[in-house]
């Protein structure tokens, strides 16, 4: 039995790397600094250790050969999930290039809200250490931040020391659109966040008025979506008065049609504030299920984020047409490879197509896939790299135990070689 | 296997060979002296061909977060240049900010065998190395960026001695796996986080009270004292600001004879004369370079067309965002470490400023006398994509072509440049110095950039052609570590290059202060921050090559 300290997590997205984990054979126990997201993700037991073809246990070689056989004469296979580490994504993209597949990260429909805004007008963003040391006003838009990342406030807002703030407990927190589910945002002095809730799909209108107020445009209405314009004026004034305001949102939480326009309005509001003699930055929340990792590696390998097809022999990005759900619904693809090394609950979508699952050991299926290859989890069963939410920092994941499970990269490289 | 390259006309400035006919022998990846054995496994008849070592791009943004932001930002640019896969090459995209695989192929297809990323943010160095690990064929390396990191600025405010700073710089180089040190808008990226929008050479950071001049002094001293061959790599203050020629001259003067490399100096050579209050400072800059032997430069030539600027200089990139074309842009403040800004640009020959920028870069090339102290760059992708190099070489080697081009640019810009009066044409040997021998010497690369026995066999063979653009865009052969990778300008096989680093010594006690700082203020444990050798070598493709420090016996 050993204890491993300073363990980085690929699960929470905010790059916690102070976990202490007790390793007893292949059993893991989070001893220190766990949270509702990380602890179950680390402690998930291994179940399957051997691959299966049609529900029968087989060797890895047989499973790989069967996977290659299923992919060999496909017209357009879909590689979904795309939830793995950097090396796993390298293998996945090599396989996609070879097999002319379409790839789609499982969180892309949420992330699309950010990509469409980024690719249309850009943004001014910041990273976690800047938040920790500089942020004097945090505006949380449409997102239950502590449910998303339970330790966000402890690590980056109510941290005891900061380089540029006298007293971090004086920071102001404002929620717009969605109320927090707990008390993490309440300051150590007991000051509660200001909360201005509205229906989530009304946020587009609310942030449009907020931007108008930041730009000193006259507003005739007195309330918008149940929030008084005076309250929005208060938020605008606080953003402009802050030394280093930070606006955060989780693109996936903005689950309504054309939410990219909300992200764009927020990002343009941030730019406007930077033109009014102070600083303000955006902080998009993400980093779950390998989403940032998938988009980064796909970005440098193809030029595009991880919703891209290779069927013409070169990468083609389309944030709408290459979506898993519609590809399956429209019968456009003829095989499914599901890659998910982090989360046993993120199972492949229902389909009658030939299905290959390269998944975390412990995954269970309503319908047994044609091929199931259990793989190790990056940061538990093998070393690797994963991106945290702010996209700048790739964390070095540690190997914690000897499970004998192969990595995603080993499996996908083997399938590619067999083609 | 013994390979013989027979009868080529060799330009090898590292050995003083200037266009002499010579045979070259290759064995196990290296160039060897004429062997006693006579069995040659493969012979290439290079009579009438021009032979140089593989070219080295000493400043090109090929790895790291800002480049990937630039990629993600510009799907419309990629769509105009899709790159098909083949049996031996991967698919991807080209033009302004190519995908990693395409970067490797296209560099190799122009005869380049190494590229160096000049802006390795310590906190983002892992990403830069991972991206560069996916660039085939090329060797690579990076210059780690310091000068706006709060740790250094706190040291300066606390009046830590030079020895402490040297230890920190050496530790950072080792942690980030770097071969040089760069500073970008010294202290300015940090000042922008405090809402300062400009920072002159002697202007104080409002929080730390430290000036860019202070930062340049301690970093240039550190680089020299810890024995790093590559001088401090400086992206100066006031990039792109009319009148910044004076800042640049003051920077040269102020460094007091310490070795210093001023990068993309074209962007720092602007005067304020003329009707448009924008003029060329190239003559003054060239004169200062010619006089100060401690200074080296690369040009950062702009060429007309669409590109994207990706820089660590968040302060200046924010100031320039109004020129974004298409109108979208990104800036980031990064981890109390650095920042970045990504702004697409379309340089137009009928735009007065762009046209004069073009002329200023060329004036600089032509007025600096010593080709060992000036390097051929477009600051890829900031001035133009690296794929424009053959065109740039023609502009330098062919006066009539240059003057033809000059006659087509904005007429007011033509009046404001001395370019037409400059007769100089670069020779093949001078091109070989700028892009090979000089670059290897500047970076401190052992056994690269030359063709004498003992060097690695990175070799490019061209067909001589008076149209220098045609000549340099399509080499007959390119060998990387002795492997034939390009024939007639097309990749025929691929391999993986090495990562070049230096490992300057530091007092291990430097980690005490750093650990405390990481625990209190940063978001990562010190132990998780440092990049291990495994991270570069564990996939079986990458390798690390450690180069000697100054004064070390190689």
Segment A196-255, tens digit of pLDDT: 999 999 999 999 999 999 999 999 999 999 999 999 999 999 999 999 999 999 999 999
B322 touches chain A (CB under 8 A): no
CB contact under 8 A, B131 and A86: no
| Same domain for A271 and A382 | no
In a domain, A149, yes or no: yes
Domain identity same for A116 and A265: yes
User: Which among B67, B332, B521 is the nearest to A126, CB-wise?
Assistant: B332
Contact B531, B175 (CB under 8 A): yes
Please check the confidence at residue B552 and state whether its pLDDT lies above 90.
no
DSSP β-ladder status, B329-334 and B338-347: antiparallel
Residue B553 confidence (pLDDT): 56
| pLDDT (0 to 100) of residue A215 | 98
In a domain, A12, yes or no: no
Interchain CB distance below 8 Å, A314 and B85 = yes
- Same domain? For A173 and A279 the reply is yes
Nearest CA in chain A to B62: A300
pLDDT beyond 90 at B38: no
Query: Residue A115 domain-assigned?
Result: yes
Is residue A11 in some structural domain?
A: no
Residue A27 lies in a domain: no
The model's pLDDT over B488-525, given as tens digits with 9 standing for 90+, comes to 999 999 999 999 999 999 999 999 999 999 999 999 99
- Using CA coordinates, name the residue in chain B closest to A314: B84
Percent helix, strand, coil in chain A (nearest 5)? 35, 25, 40
Cβ distance A130 to B333 less than 8 Å, yes or no, reads: yes
Partner residue opposite B335 with nearest CB, options A127, A161, A315? A127
Pair (A277, A223) in one structural domain:
yes
| Neighbour count for residue B166 (Cβ, 10 Å) | 24
Residue B37's pLDDT band (boundaries 50, 70, 90)? confident
Decide if A320 touches B, using CB distance below 8 A.
no
Mark whether A236 and A281 lie in a shared domain.
Answer: yes
Mutate to test the interface with A, among B133, B335, B345 (most CBs of A within 10 A): B335
Query: What's the pLDDT at A216?
Result: 97
The answer to whether residue B551 scores a pLDDT higher than 90 is no
Chain B, 508 to 547: residues with Cβ < 8 Å from chain A are 520-525, 527-528, 531-532, 534-535, 538-539
Instruction: Give the pLDDT band (50/70/90) at residue A276.
Output: very high
Looking at the structure, do residues A219 and A256 belong to the same domain, yes or no? yes
Domain presence at residue A23: no
Backbone angles phi, psi at A307, to 5 degrees: -140, 75
Residues of B in contact with A120 (CB under 8 A): 328
Digit-coded pLDDT (tens) for B349-371: 999 999 999 999 999 999 999 99
Q: Do A118 and B193 touch (CB under 8 A)?
A: no
Residue B21 has pLDDT above 70, yes or no: yes
CB contact under 8 A, A313 and B520: no
Which residues 273-292 of A have a C-beta within 8 angstroms of B?
274, 277-279, 281
Is residue A178 within 8 angstroms of chain B, CB to CB?
no
Q: What is the mean pLDDT of residues A262-288?
A: 97
Residue linked to tokens 């044609």: A370
Chain B residues closer than 8 Å to A305 by CB? 72
B262 touches chain A (CB under 8 A): no
Are residues A302 and B92, on separate chains, in Cβ contact within 8 Å?
Answer: yes
**Inter-chain contact A300–B524, Cβ cutoff 8 Å?**
no
Question: What distance in Å separates residue B117's CA from the closest CA in chain A?
Answer: 15
- In order of A133, A171, B188, B325, B342, the CA distances from A279 in angstroms are 14, 15, 15, 24, 18
A362 and B CB contact within 8 Å: no
Give B229→chain A minimum CA distance, Å. Answer: 29
Q: Which two structure tokens, joined as six digits, stand for B242?
A: 């009319």
A9/A395 Cα distance (integer angstroms): 8
Is there a single domain that holds both residue A149 and residue A276? yes
Dihedral of alpha carbons A88, A93, A98, A100, sign: positive
Number of structural domains found in chain A: 2
Q: What is the mean pLDDT of residues A23-42?
A: 97
Which of A267, A285, A303 is the last residue before a domain boundary? A285
| Contact (CB<8Å) B84/A161 | no
Domain match, A116 and A102 both: no
User: Nearest residue on chain A to B134, judged by CA atoms?
Assistant: A301
Residue B554 has pLDDT above 70, yes or no: no
CA distance B98 to chain A (A): 7
Mean per-residue pLDDT, B48-69: 97
Distance from CA of B35 to the nearest CA of A (A): 40
Which token pair is A175?
């929620």
CB contact under 8 A, A125 and B332: yes
Q: Return the beta strands (E) in A194-233 as ranges.
A: 194-197, 223-224, 227-228
Query: What is the CATH number for A168?
Result: 3.40.228.10
Mean pLDDT score across all residues of chain A: 97
Mean pLDDT, chain B, integer: 97
3-class SS of residue A162: coil
The CATH number assigned to the domain holding A396 equals 3.40.50.740
Task: Based on the fold, state whether residues A58 and A125 are members of the same structural domain.
Answer: no
Cβ distance A315 to B93 less than 8 Å, yes or no, reads: yes
Q: Which of A122, A244, A316, A320 to mutate to test the interface with B (most CBs of B within 10 A)?
A: A122
CATH for B56-446 is 3.20.20
Same domain as A360, residue A279 = no
ipTM for this model: 0.97
Is A232 part of any domain? yes
| Structure-token pair, residue B301 | 């030539």
Question: For residues B137 and B486, what is the distance between their CA atoms, to the nearest angstrom?
Answer: 10
Which of A119, A314, A391 lies at the smallest CB-CB distance from B73? A119
Which pLDDT belongs to residue A289? 87
Mean pLDDT along residues A358-363: 97
> Does A361 fall in a domain?
yes
Give pLDDT, residue A192.
98
Residue where a domain terminates, one of A269, A285, A301: A285
| Of residues B83, B123, B521, nearest to A314 (C-beta) | B83
**Phi, then psi, of B206 in degrees rounded to 5:** -65, -20
Q: Which of A6, A119, A295 minimises the CB distance to B528?
A: A6
Instruction: Find the DSSP H helices in B177-234.
Output: 188-193, 212-225
Contact A301 B525 (CB under 8 A): no
Q: CA angle, corner A266, sides to A265 and A270, nearest 5? A: 115
Residues A120 and A193 placed together within one structural domain of the fold:
yes
Give the contacts of A234 (CB within 8 A, at least 6 positions apart): none
Nearest to B436 by CA among B80, B102, B2, B17: B17
With a CB-CB cutoff of 8 Å, which residues 72-91 of chain B face chain A?
Answer: 72-75, 78, 82-85, 90-91
Q: Residue B121 and residue A17: Cβ atoms within 8 Å?
A: no
Give the A:B interface size as CB pairs under 8 Å.
188
Question: Which tokens belong to B430?
Answer: 């001078």
Window 323-352 of A: residues touching B by CB (8 A cutoff) are: none
| Residue B235 distance to chain A (closest CA, Å) | 22
pLDDT of residue A187: 98
Rounded to whole angstroms, the Cα distance separating B419 from B360 reads 8
Residues A303 and B99: beta-carbon distance below 8 Å: yes
Nearest CB to B328 within list A121, A129, A302: A121
B381 touching chain A per CB within 8 A = no
SS3 A259: coil
What interhelical angle do B282-291 and B352-367 show, nearest 10?
A: 20
Confidence tier at A151 by pLDDT (50, 70, 90): very high
Asked if A133 lies within 8 A of B521 by C-beta distance, the reply is: yes
Q: Which two tokens stand for residue B449?
A: 């950039």
Both A351 and A412 in one domain: the answer is yes
CB contact under 8 A, B342 and A244: no
Domain end call among A285, A300, A331: A285
Residues 6+ apart with CB under 8 A from B22: B8, B10, B51
Select the residue of B83, B130, B207 nearest A385 (Cβ to Cβ): B130
- What pTM, to 2 d.p., does this model score? 0.98
Distance from CA of A350 to the nearest CA of B (A): 31
Question: Residues 120..149 of A with a Cβ closer than 8 Å to B: which?
Answer: 120-130, 132-134
* pLDDT tens string B373-402: 999 999 999 999 999 999 999 999 999 999
* Cβ within 8 Å, pair A118-B73: yes
- Calculated CA dihedral for residues B191, B193, B195, B196, nearest 10 degrees: 20
Question: Which residue in the set B68, B121, B195 is minimally distant from A299, CB to CB?
Answer: B68
Domain of residue A410: give its range: 45-107+289-418
Burial B71-87 (b: 16+ CB within 10 A, else e): bbbbbebbbebbbebee
Q: Measured between CB atoms, which of A130, A304, A395 is closest to B193?
A: A130
Query: What does the alpha-carbon distance between residue B499 and residue B542 come to, in Å, rounded to a whole number?
Result: 7
Q: Is A17 on the interface with B (CB under 8 A)?
A: yes
A307 touches chain B (CB under 8 A): no
- Averaged over A27-52, what is the pLDDT? 97
Q: How far is B105 from chain A (nearest CA, A)?
A: 13
Nearest residue on chain B to A273, alpha-carbon basis = B195
């Amino acid at each position: 039995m050993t204890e491993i300290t300073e363990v980085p997590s690929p699960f929470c997205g905010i790059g916690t790397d102070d976990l202490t984990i007790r390793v007893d054979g292949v059993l893991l126990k989070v001893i220190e600094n766990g949270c509702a997201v990380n602890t179950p993700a680390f402690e998930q037991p291994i179940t399957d250790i051997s691959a299966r073809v049609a529900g029968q246990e087989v060797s890895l070689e047989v499973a790989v050969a069967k996977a290659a056989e299923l992919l060999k004469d496909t017209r357009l296979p879909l590689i979904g999930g795309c939830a793995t580490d950097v090396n796993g994504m390298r293998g996945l993209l090599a396989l996609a290039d070879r097999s002319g597949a379409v790839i789609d990260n499982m969180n892309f429909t949420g992330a699309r809200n950010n990509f469409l805004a980024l690719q249309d007008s850009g943004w001014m963003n910041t990273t976690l250490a800047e938040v920790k040391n500089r942020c004097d006003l945090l505006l949380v838009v449409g997102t239950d931040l502590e449910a998303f990342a339970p330790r966000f406030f402890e690590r980056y807002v109510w941290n005891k020391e900061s380089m540029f703030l006298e007293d971090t407990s004086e920071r102001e927190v404002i929620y717009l659109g969605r109320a927090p589910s707990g008390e993490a945002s309440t300051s150590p002095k007991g000051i509660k966040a200001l909360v201005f809730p509205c229906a989530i799909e009304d946020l587009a209108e609310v942030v449009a008025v907020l931007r108008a107020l930041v730009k000193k445009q006259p507003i005739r209405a007195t309330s918008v979506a149940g929030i008084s314009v005076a309250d929005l004026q208060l938020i605008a004034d606080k953003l402009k008065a802050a030394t280093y305001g930070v606006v955060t949102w989780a693109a996936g939480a903005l689950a309504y049609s054309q939410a990219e326009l909300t992200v764009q309005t927020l990002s343009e509001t941030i730019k406007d504030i930077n033109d009014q003699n102070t600083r303000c930055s955006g902080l998009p929340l993400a980093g779950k299920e390998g989403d940032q990792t998938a988009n980064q590696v796909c970005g440098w390998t193809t030029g595009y984020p991880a919703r891209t097809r290779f069927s013409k022999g070169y990468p083609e990005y389309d944030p709408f047409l290459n979506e898993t759900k519609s590809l399956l619904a429209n019968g456009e693809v003829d095989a499914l490879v599901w890659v998910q090394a982090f989360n046993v609950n993120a199972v492949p979508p229902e389909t009658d197509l030939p299905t290959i699952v390269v998944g975390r050991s412990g995954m269970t299926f309503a319908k047994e896939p044609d091929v199931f290859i259990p793989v190790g989890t990056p940061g538990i069963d093998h070393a690797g790299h994963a991106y945290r939410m702010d996209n700048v920092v790739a964390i070095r994941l540690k190997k914690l135990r000897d499970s004998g499970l192969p990595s995603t990269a080993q499996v996908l490289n083997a399938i590619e070689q067999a083609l | 296997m013994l390979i013989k390259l027979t009868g080529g006309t060799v330009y090898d400035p590292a050995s003083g060979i200037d266009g002499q006919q010579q045979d070259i022998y290759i064995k196990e990846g290296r160039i060897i002296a004429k062997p006693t054995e006579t069995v040659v496994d493969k012979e290439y008849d290079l009579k009438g061909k021009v032979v140089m070592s593989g070219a080295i791009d000493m400043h090109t943004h090929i790895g790291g977060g800002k480049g990937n932001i630039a990629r993600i930002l510009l799907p419309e640019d990629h769509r105009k240049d899709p790159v098909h896969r083949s049996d031996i090459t991967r698919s991807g995209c080209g033009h302004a900010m190519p995908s990693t695989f395409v970067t490797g192929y296209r560099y190799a297809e122009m005869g380049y065998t190494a590229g160096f990323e000049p802006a390795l943010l310590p906190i983002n160095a892992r990403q830069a190395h991972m991206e560069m690990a996916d660039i085939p064929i090329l060797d690579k390396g990076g210059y780690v960026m310091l000068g706006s990191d709060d740790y250094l600025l706190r040291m300066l405010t606390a009046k830590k001695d030079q020895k402490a700073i040297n230890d920190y710089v050496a530790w950072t180089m080792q942690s980030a796996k770097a071969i040089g040190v760069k500073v970008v808008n010294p202290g300015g990226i940090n000042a922008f986080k405090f809402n300062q929008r400009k920072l002159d050479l002697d202007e104080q950071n409002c929080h730390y009270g430290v000036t860019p001049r202070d930062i340049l002094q301690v970093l240039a001293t550190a680089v020299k004292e810890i024995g790093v061959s590559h001088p401090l790599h400086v992206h100066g203050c006031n990039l792109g600001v009319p009148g910044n020629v004076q800042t640049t001259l003051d920077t040269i003067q102020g460094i007091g004879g310490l070795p210093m490399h001023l990068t993309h100096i074209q962007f720092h050579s602007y005067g304020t004369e003329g009707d448009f209050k924008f003029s060329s400072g190239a003559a003054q800059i060239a004169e200062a370079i010619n006089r100060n032997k401690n200074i080296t430069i690369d040009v950062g030539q702009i060429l007309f067309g669409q590109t994207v600027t990706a820089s660590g200089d968040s302060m200046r990139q924010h100031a320039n965002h109004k020129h974004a074309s298409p109108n979208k842009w990104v800036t980031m403040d990064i981890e109390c470490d650095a920042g970045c800004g990504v702004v697409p640009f379309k340089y137009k020959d009928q735009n007065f400023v762009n046209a004069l920028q073009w002329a200023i870069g060329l004036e600089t090339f032509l007025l600096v006398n010593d080709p060992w102290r000036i390097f051929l760059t477009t600051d890829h992708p900031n001035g133009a994509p690296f794929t424009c190099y053959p065109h740039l070489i023609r502009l330098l080697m062919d006066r009539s072509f240059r003057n033809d081009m000059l006659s087509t640019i904005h007429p007011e810009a033509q009046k404001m440049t001395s370019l037409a009066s400059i007769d100089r044409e670069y020779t093949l040997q001078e091109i070989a110095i700028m892009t090979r021998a000089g670059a290897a010497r500047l970076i401190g690369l052992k056994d690269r950039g030359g063709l004498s026995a003992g060097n690695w066999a990175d070799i490019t063979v061209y067909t001589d052609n008076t149209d220098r653009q045609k000549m340099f865009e399509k080499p007959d052969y390119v060998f990387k570590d002795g492997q034939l990778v390009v024939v007639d300008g097309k990749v025929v096989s691929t391999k993986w290059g090495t990562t070049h680093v230096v490992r300057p010594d530091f007092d291990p006690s430097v980690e005490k202060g750093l650990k405390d700082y990481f625990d209190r203020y940063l978001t990562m444990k010190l132990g998780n921050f440092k990049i291990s050798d495994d991270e570069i070598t564990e996939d079986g493709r990458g390798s690390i090559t450690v180069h000697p420090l100054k004064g070390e016996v190689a």
